[in-house]
Amino acid sequence: MEKNRTLSVLFLKAYGATGLTVCEPLSGTGVRGLRYAVEAGAVGRLILNDISREAVELIKKNLEVNGVNAEVYNEDANVLLHRLRDKCDVVDIDPFGSPAPFLHAGFRALREEGVICVTATDTAVLVGRYPKKCLRRYGAVMFKTPFYIEAGLRNLIGYVARVAASEDYGVEPLFAYWEGHYFRLCARAVRGARDADSNFNYIGYVEYKKPYRKVVRRPGERSLGPLWVGPMGDPILVSKMAEYGPYGDFLQLLSEEYSVAAPWFFKVPEFALGGVSRGIEEALDALKKGGIYAVRTHMAPDGFKTEASAGEVERVLRIVI
Ligand SMILES: C[S@@+](CC[C@H](N)C(=O)[O-])C[C@H]1O[C@@H](n2cnc3c(N)ncnc32)[C@H](O)[C@@H]1O
């Protein structure tokens, strides 16, 4: 989780606010909150918590060793978050597994405007490898596609946006990515019925019929969703994060991905001819020559994002090399 924590520090730094009340209701060792306080230069009040007594002892020790001040609690995260109603600028939900059980309370702890961050390590559920559990936990119908990782990430964002709406918050994803065993999202949240309503402008379904994809408003036989089909992040904020140094190339790539509106990626082998597929560099080169803007994706080494349709991509990539 080092990368997750470092990127989160960069995110808070780039977000640009100071004196924030930050709550990490599932703190573990407290190292995440501690790093926010020491490295992000954004924290005014730090609230750490864990249900485990041993974890709380460790948090206290770590705070002392590092000379950091924080309020430390030993409660169920949901109880604490309800008690903090309307008090937090940032709530960071970083559990083992799904963040779903803590999301409603997370929004309740936010002020009128704030940031909600979530980590989900139940990636297999979110991408639909366990369809019943996915439906149960996230209310989404998922099945395997070449872009299943992005679909899983958008499933998580869609779920957060629907919970946000039920708590009267609108959300704007600022930073979202996939990394091996987890999905991560940081989103701005603004309270108000109109803001909450606008979440649904970006909730939709993706219809997939090899190799074609399209966004549809209503679910159908071959559709995944509901998913977040809007922007996954803010390219400007993420470019700013990239300037701070660590993970610069990764963040620059994310920034490019965020500027492509299509809520999926393609994989080069989808357009193989007679079983022969081009390499990613060669494919990107061919697309460029064919007048199609495409960028690599962090979600697959042989993947690319483009607003061109599968048909247009196919016409360019199926030309015999
Ligand atoms: C993934 S760890 C947190 C890691 C930490 N955020 C970090 O970045 O180092 C999840 C923690 O949540 C705690 N936890 C699990 N259920 C909880 C609950 N209902 N309320 C509060 N803490 C809980 C566990 O004891 C565990 O320490």
pLDDT, tens only, 211-266: 999 999 999 999 999 999 999 999 999 999 999 989 999 999 999 999 999 999 99
Rounded distance between C-alpha atoms, residue 155 and residue 178, angstroms: 12
CA of 184 to the centre of ligand 1 (A): 16
Looking at residue 167, its pLDDT comes to 98
CA of 158 to the centre of ligand 1 (A): 23
| Number of CB atoms found within 10 A of residue 193's CB | 11
Q: Whole-model pTM above 0.85?
A: yes
Q: Which residue has the tokens 């989780």?
A: 1
> How would residue 275 be classed by pLDDT, with cut points 50, 70 and 90?
confident
CA of 92 to the centre of ligand 1 (A): 11
With vertex at residue 42, the alpha carbon angle to CA 40 and CA 45, rounded to the nearest 5 degrees, is 120
Residue nearest to atom 17 of ligand 1 (CA): 51
Q: Which atom of ligand 1 is nearest to the CA of 121?
A: 1
Rounded distance between C-alpha atoms, residue 293 and residue 307, angstroms: 8
Looking at residue 157, its pLDDT comes to 99
Looking at residue 1, its pLDDT comes to 86
Looking at residue 321, its pLDDT comes to 53
Q: Which atom of ligand 1 is nearest to the CA of 96?
A: 1
Enter the DSSP assignment of 168.
T
Q: What mean pLDDT is reported for the chain?
A: 97
How confident is the model over 89-131, as pLDDT tens digits? Answer: 999 999 999 999 999 999 999 999 999 999 999 999 999 999 9
Residue nearest to atom 13 of ligand 1 (CA): 26
Lowest mean pLDDT, pick from 82-86, 102-106, 276-280, 303-307: 276-280
Give the whole-number percent of the chain exceeding pLDDT 70: 99
Q: Which atom of ligand 1 is nearest to the CA of 32?
A: 8
Looking at residue 134, its pLDDT comes to 98
Looking at residue 277, its pLDDT comes to 85
Ligand 1 pocket mutation pick from 4, 39, 51 by most atoms within 8 angstroms of CB: 51
Q: Which atom of ligand 1 is nearest to the CA of 79?
A: 20
Maximum pairwise Cα distance, the chain: 65
Ligand 1 pocket mutation pick from 5, 72, 96, 179 by most atoms within 8 angstroms of CB: 96
Contact 306, 284 (CB under 8 A): no
Residue nearest to atom 7 of ligand 1 (CA): 32
Q: Which residues line ligand 1 (CB under 6 A)?
A: 1, 5, 24-29, 31-32, 49-52, 55, 76-77, 94-96
- Where do the domains of the chain lie, and which CATH numbers do they carry? 2-258 (3.40.50.150), 266-320 (3.30.56.70)
Looking at residue 320, its pLDDT comes to 58
Rounded distance between C-alpha atoms, residue 274 and residue 45, angstroms: 61
Pick from 254, 220, 257: which is nearest to 238 by CA?
A: 254
Contact 191, 181 (CB under 8 A): no
Pick from 189, 159, 126, 174: which is nearest to 10 by CA?
A: 174
Helix axes 310-317, 280-289, angle to 10 degrees: 100
CA of 24 to the centre of ligand 1 (A): 9
CA of 28 to the centre of ligand 1 (A): 5
In the predicted model, is pLDDT for residue 13 greater than 90? yes
Q: Which residue has the tokens 């918050």?
A: 169
Looking at residue 99, its pLDDT comes to 98
**What would you report as the CA-atom Rg of the chain, rounded to the nearest whole angstrom?**
20
